[in-house]
């Protein structure tokens, strides 16, 4: 007897027209709406509503938990692969919460027909990335779906981490005058993926910035203490969407200097060719920091003296009440940055 | 500009012939080979190698972690849906480790075109199942993939739990003479899914047994103490594959009485019609227990007095050295049960 299977597409055909579209996954406005309309009313609680990428699950022991699914296409790209990304992505969500990554789980959804060589290369990358960070993958699961019901390889990683000291990071700790710092250039990951998909080649080959933010964030916490207010890794939706979340979280305006925002030449060239804004493209190894103004020089020192692909820069400051992100252009004008809307880049991470 | 996408199928076409096939996901022999050949050499460690569905991640505080991806097709079936299953499935992996479920994460991979009504119903089920158990979903993530690259809705849940007392469960604690107990009939989930796929209807409509094993396992631990040796929930691969794992883990023969194995009339009828063996079909709300022989009556009492779909039965006992599962047939013969091999039932959970 052949295996009895069933296409879920039959069920979808019954849909009355309200459907999930690709924009729901872009990390911008449509994703926020899906979360607020569909998920929070049904599985919401204080921890999920807080909107951070990690949640404190045990106040006594300060244990944090975060989850991320990786569906990036293609699974291998300049600078990394889905395996490395799945380890660093989840580690980075813990890192920007100020938590030391401790344990990871890995759940695989493989598509029938996936090359075993590719699978082995991806799992090898995961092992290397985890070992480099001293984090163990303590639980794993594998499912296989029929051809045409997957994208080769999808990986969920869930991470548990611990914070040590008494410092609490949060948008509620952000004050007017605080400095906005980027640890390095934006948009590398997004351009690397898109260029690979499109088969584009540029004079300057762009590689994904796929890298771990730990132990950098640990050193920043240690060195800046209370002067470190908040950290966020700008993945889907890019730095613009991350800044918008901070502005909405604080209710304050954020004032950015367009000239100060680090964008590599190759990224600039590619985005101009493709008609895209690098501020909306994913980074996978950089962080946005909000730091007490007097500590910003110290923050830059700490980043520069830590091993990693860092090119830190102060890119702006926190303003008064408002809740908008305002970008000062080189010509002295101001342009308002909203969250990503539409323009889906499916499967960027 | 249209979104730049890329089919991973182009990459698969480059495969030299070594591919992932559906049997790799059946939970039986082929899955074990995939784990041993591909995963353990690359991401293996003591915790993953131990082979349990949950790992102890913090010996001091006795914190456990487990992960499971759910890809069941169809997403709604008699007795449950993928949402309920994704909560109970992960809770049950903690429960059979003796751990109280504390926190869950949920990672969604949605396919473009998924009905929002279906998504809402599934998320509603998750919320209800989690609240019923007093477990919070503390972290969540959503990705959307293009049409033709998913199966409607896939969910990963990862769970963290805690064990309280000093009792340690494990196949190494199993002794000759111990009793094998099933909490209820086997094969209900497998038949419910297959019957739905095939559009079959039986006189006795079979419903999935999708149910939480917690707090039952907590009461068993409390009531049986050291007399409880080991627990396992027989999902993919069914009770036969779970028994094979125990036999291999202990190096002892397991002696089963075929007459004592509880199988519902509707499941019996359906499996006879489909030419399947109910012992290889998934359960999603029953457990296999190994109990010190003198405590087996007490175990049956505890199960029968706990609310839930239980119909407990002593189904066999642990024998001497050997490592095989031997089933005594009603006619007095003996048939050896191996793990599931081939005969894939893709997307059963």
Percent helix, strand, coil in chain B, to 5, is 35, 25, 40
* For B126, nearest residue in chain A (alpha carbons): A43
What is the 3-class SS of chain A, one letter each residue? CCCCCCCHHHHHCCCCCCECCHHHHCCCHHHHHHHHHHHHHHHCCHHHHCCCCCEEEECCCCEEEEEEEECCCCCEECCEEHHHHHHHHHHHHHHCCCCEEEEEEEEEEEECCCEHHHHHHHHHHHHHHHHHHCCEEEEEEEEEECCCCCCCEEEEEEEEEECCCCCCCCHHHCCCCCEEEECCCCCHHHHHHHHHHHCCCCCCCCCCCCCCCCCHHHHHHHHHHHHEEEEECCCCCHHHHHHHHHHHHHCEEEEEEHHHCCCCHHHHHHHHHHCCCHHHCCCCCCCEEEECHHHHHHHHHHHHCCCCCCCCEEEEEEEEECCCEEEECCCCCEEEECCCCCCCCCCCC
Contact with chain A for residue B205, Cβ under 8 A: no
Which H or E run contains B65? strand B63-70
Query: Does the A171-337 domain belong in CATH 3.90.650.10?
Result: yes
Q: What count of Cα atoms within 13 Å lies in the side-chain half-sphere of residue B102?
A: 19
Domain locations along chain B: 9-51+59-163, 171-337
Neighbour tally for A225: CB within 10 Å: 13
The whole-angstrom separation of Cα A82 and Cα A77 is 8
Which residue in A311, A305, A259, A303 sits closest to A283, CA to CA?
Answer: A311
pLDDT of residue B187: 94
Contact with chain B for residue A346, Cβ under 8 A: yes
Contact with chain B for residue A121, Cβ under 8 A: no
The mean pLDDT of B169-187, rounded to a whole number, is 96
Least confident among A148-162, A329-343, B18-32, B173-187: B18-32
The mean pLDDT of B7-24, rounded to a whole number, is 57
pLDDT band at B183 (very low <50, low <70, confident <90, very high): very high
Q: Is 70 exceeded by the pLDDT of residue B272?
A: yes
- The residue among A195 and A55 whose pLDDT is bigger is A195
What ipTM does this complex have?
0.91
Mind listing the pLDDT tens digit for each residue in A258-300?
A: 999 999 999 999 899 888 899 999 999 999 999 999 999 999 9
pLDDT of residue B57: 65
Mind listing the pLDDT tens digit for each residue in B279-310?
A: 999 999 999 999 999 999 999 999 999 999 99
Considering only CB atoms, which chain A residues are within 8 Å of B143?
Answer: 25, 69-71, 347
CB–CB of B345/B26 below 8 Å?
Answer: yes
Identical fold for domains A9-51+59-163 and A171-337, yes or no, is no
Q: Is 80 exceeded by the pLDDT of residue A7?
A: no
Q: Is 60 exceeded by the pLDDT of residue B3?
A: no
Mean pLDDT of chain B: 88
pLDDT of residue A205: 80
Mind listing the pLDDT tens digit for each residue in A306-332?
A: 999 999 999 999 999 999 999 999 998
Residues contacting A50, CB < 8 A, separation 6+: none
pLDDT band at B5 (very low <50, low <70, confident <90, very high): very low
pLDDT of residue A76: 94
Q: Is 60 exceeded by the pLDDT of residue A247?
A: yes
pLDDT of residue A252: 97
Mind listing the pLDDT tens digit for each residue in B50-70?
A: 766 677 766 566 888 999 999
Q: Is 80 exceeded by the pLDDT of residue B313?
A: yes
Beta bridge partners of A153: A110
The whole-angstrom separation of Cα A283 and Cα A299 is 20
Q: Is 50 exceeded by the pLDDT of residue A212?
A: yes
Which residue in B36, B41, B61 sits closest to A131, CA to CA?
Answer: B41
Q: What count of Cα atoms within 13 Å lies in the side-chain half-sphere of residue A133?
A: 31
Considering only CB atoms, which chain B residues are within 8 Å of A6?
Answer: 73-74, 196-197
pTM, full prediction:
0.91
CA of A312: how far to CAs of A99, A307, A342, in Å?
A: 21, 12, 30
pLDDT band at A343 (very low <50, low <70, confident <90, very high): low
Judging by DSSP bridges, how do beta strands B136-145 and B100-111 pair with one another? parallel
Interface test with chain A among B6, B90, B162, B190, by most A beta carbons within 10 Å:
B6
pLDDT band at A3 (very low <50, low <70, confident <90, very high): very low
pLDDT of residue B201: 61
Q: What are phi and psi of A169, to 5 degrees?
A: -95, 145
First to last CA, chain B: 39
User: Looking at CA atoms only, how far is residue B211 from chain A in angstroms?
Assistant: 19
pLDDT band at B32 (very low <50, low <70, confident <90, very high): confident
Put simply, the answer to whether B34 touches A142 (Cβ < 8 Å) is: yes
Which residue in A74, A109, A5, A151 sits closest to B148, CA to CA?
Answer: A151
Q: Is 90 exceeded by the pLDDT of residue A50?
A: no
Least confident among A15-19, A173-177, B99-103: A15-19
- For A315, the token pair is 């890119």
> Could you tell me how far CA A172 lies from the centroid of its own chain?
21
> Could you tell me how far CA A11 lies from the centroid of its own chain?
32
Contact with chain B for residue A345, Cβ under 8 A: yes
- For B331, the token pair is 């006619």
- For A204, the token pair is 């300057």
Length of chain B: 349
Burial of B298 from C-beta contacts in 10 A (0-12 / 13-18 / 19+): middle
* % chain B with pLDDT above 70: 90
pLDDT of residue A302: 98
Put simply, the answer to whether B136 touches A47 (Cβ < 8 Å) is: yes
pLDDT of residue B19: 75
Contact with chain A for residue B78, Cβ under 8 A: no
Mind listing the pLDDT tens digit for each residue in A64-91?
A: 899 999 999 999 999 999 999 999 999 9
Mind listing the pLDDT tens digit for each residue in B193-244?
A: 988 888 766 545 899 999 999 999 999 999 999 999 999 999 988 999 999 9
Contact with chain B for residue A139, Cβ under 8 A: yes
Q: What are phi and psi of A121, to 5 degrees?
A: -65, -40
pLDDT of residue B221: 96
C-alpha torsion angle, residues B313, B315, B320, B321 (rounded to 10): -110
pLDDT of residue A57: 65
Alpha helices by DSSP H, B52-115: 82-95
Least confident among A45-54, A186-195, A310-319: A45-54
* For A6, nearest residue in chain B (alpha carbons): B197
Contact with chain B for residue A91, Cβ under 8 A: no
Q: Which fold has domain A9-51+59-163?
A: 60s Ribosomal Protein L30; Chain: A; (3.30.1330)
User: Looking at CA atoms only, how far is residue A222 from chain B in angstroms?
Assistant: 24
CA of B44: how far to CAs of A123, A140, A286, B25, B48, in Å?
A: 10, 10, 29, 19, 6
> Which of B1, B65, B136 lies closest to A103 in CB terms?
B65
pLDDT band at B328 (very low <50, low <70, confident <90, very high): very high
Contact with chain B for residue A112, Cβ under 8 A: yes
pLDDT of residue A232: 95
Q: Is 90 exceeded by the pLDDT of residue A109?
A: yes
């Amino acid at each position: 007897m052949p295996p009895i299977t069933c296409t879920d597409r039959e069920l979808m055909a019954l849909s009355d027209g309200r459907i999930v579209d690709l924009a729901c996954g872009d990390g911008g406005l449509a994703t926020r709406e899906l979360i607020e309309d569909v998920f929070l009313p049904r599985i919401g609680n204080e921890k999920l509503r807080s909107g951070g990428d990690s949640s404190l699950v045990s106040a006594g022991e300060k244990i944090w938990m975060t989850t991320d699914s990786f569906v990036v296409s293609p699974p291998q790209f300049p600078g990394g692969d889905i395996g490395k990304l799945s380890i660093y992505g989840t580690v980075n969500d813990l890192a920007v919460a100020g938590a030391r990554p401790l344990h990871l789980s890995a759940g695989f959804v493989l598509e029938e027909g996936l090359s075993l060589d590719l699978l082995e290369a991806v799992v090898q990358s995961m092992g290397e990335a985890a070992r480099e960070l001293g984090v163990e993958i303590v639980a794993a699961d594998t499912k296989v779906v029929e051809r045409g019901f997957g994208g080769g390889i999808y990986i969920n990683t869930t991470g548990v981490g611990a914070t040590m000291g008494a410092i609490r990071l949060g948008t509620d700790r952000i004050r007017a005058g605080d400095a906005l710092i980027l640890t390095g250039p934006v948009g590398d990951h997004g351009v690397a993926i898109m260029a690979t998909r499109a088969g584009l080649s540029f004079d300057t080959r762009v590689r994904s910035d796929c890298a771990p933010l730990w132990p950098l964030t640990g050193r920043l916490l240690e060195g800046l203490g209370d002067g470190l207010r908040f950290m966020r890794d700008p993945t889907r939706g890019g730095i613009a969407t991350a800044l918008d979340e901070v502005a909405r979280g604080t209710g304050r305006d954020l004032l950015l200097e367009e000239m100060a925002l680090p964008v590599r030449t190759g990224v600039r060239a590619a985005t101009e060719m493709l008609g895209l804004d690098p501020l909306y493209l994913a980074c996978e190894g950089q962080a946005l920091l909000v730091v007490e103004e007097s500590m910003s020089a110290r923050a830059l020192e700490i980043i520069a003296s830590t091993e990693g692909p860092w090119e830190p820069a102060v890119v702006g400051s926190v303003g008064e009440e408002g809740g908008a992100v305002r970008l000062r252009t080189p010509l002295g004008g101001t342009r308002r940055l909203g969250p990503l809307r539409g323009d889906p880049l499916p499967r960027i991470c």
